[in-house]
Amino acid sequence: MTLRRSSATRPLRLTTLAAAAGLLFALQAVPQAASAQQRDPTRSIGETVASQPSPHYAFERFEVRSADGQRIWRVHVAAPKGDAPEGGWPAFWMLDGNAALIEFDQALLAELAAQPVPHALVFVGYANDLRIDSEARTRDYTPFPGERPVRDGTTITGGGGGDALLEVIERDVRPEVARRVPTDPDRQTLWGHSLAGLFALHTLYTRAGAFDTYAAGSPSLWWGDGALLGAPEQRFVAHNAGRRARVLIGLGGGERQVAHRDLGDPRVQVHLRRIAAAPPDSAEKLAGRLSAVDGLQVTYREFHGLTHGPMFRASLMWALHVVTGIADHSDTPSRADGVEPAR
């Protein structure tokens, strides 16, 4: 299958990287943040479309606990108002569900509902009011243990709970979503950003048929010394056997550079060391390799000038555009910045 490149793709700027870093080691780095955004990690989500009446979608929420009762996920489900088509609504699943909710407003819901076959929306988040729960997502979205930098310049070793979360989604979340909203099992999309983008790719590799579209925005391919780029990918390529799936991989052009970073910040220095296993063109090259796999339809897009944080909204809006048919709002500001997106 031929790789589809978006017209937004821009060439690699290694000269900029080298000049800004002043470190040969940084030439191997993709300057991605370990958390979804470099904003206040304690920020709460406040009021969202899930807490407002909508003429377009009906929202419900439920919670799922781990077997030991120590972890709780909060899931918001939004069904288009009206009769579901035979076979159920297609469904668009979002990880980091608390943060994803902030990116929706009534105008976007109206546009989604106006499509010939609207999508149900599934927001998989955590049972708190944090926009981003860094500790929980590091645990849940990583398929193997690794390290992530923290603000004091040190690292925390952890993670590896990706398969456990997949079990929760398959055994607990998906049946409850289907009980509340009729969904089409053959038309399901999974979107994630950063570590959640890594999780989306891991799901593609290990749960054939769980979704038909996998959207990975700025996937943290550096996690675990780039382990996902090795044996997991090779096993998937060898055994996919023509199973059909669509794969969307997005990256911010600014993520290939370090000029915008404070290289005197110990946290940045630690992060550059951690991500050295994934060269700046890792996401693009991965898309190229996957495009050669029988059954896969792969699209790679690079967003000119965007750094890791803004890629959260950009990759989500792009995926919604590609999957649901709405206009592409990837260049509109995030409601998380206190700016209402223009329509």
Annotated catalytic sites, by residue? 194, 255, 308
DSSP state of 190: E
Indicate the burial class of 176 (C-beta count within 10 angstroms; 0-12, 13-18, 19 or more): middle
d(CA 9, CA 304): 7
Count CB atoms within 10 A of the CB of residue 237: 15
d(CA 176, CA 173): 5
Which of 301, 336, 316 lies closest to 38, judged by CA? 336
Supply angle C-alpha 109, 199, 215, rounded to 5. 45
Q: Say how far residue 275 (Cα) sits from the centre of its chain.
A: 18
H or E, element range at 77? strand 72-80
DSSP state of 130: B
Task: Enter the tokens of residue 237.
Answer: 């390529």
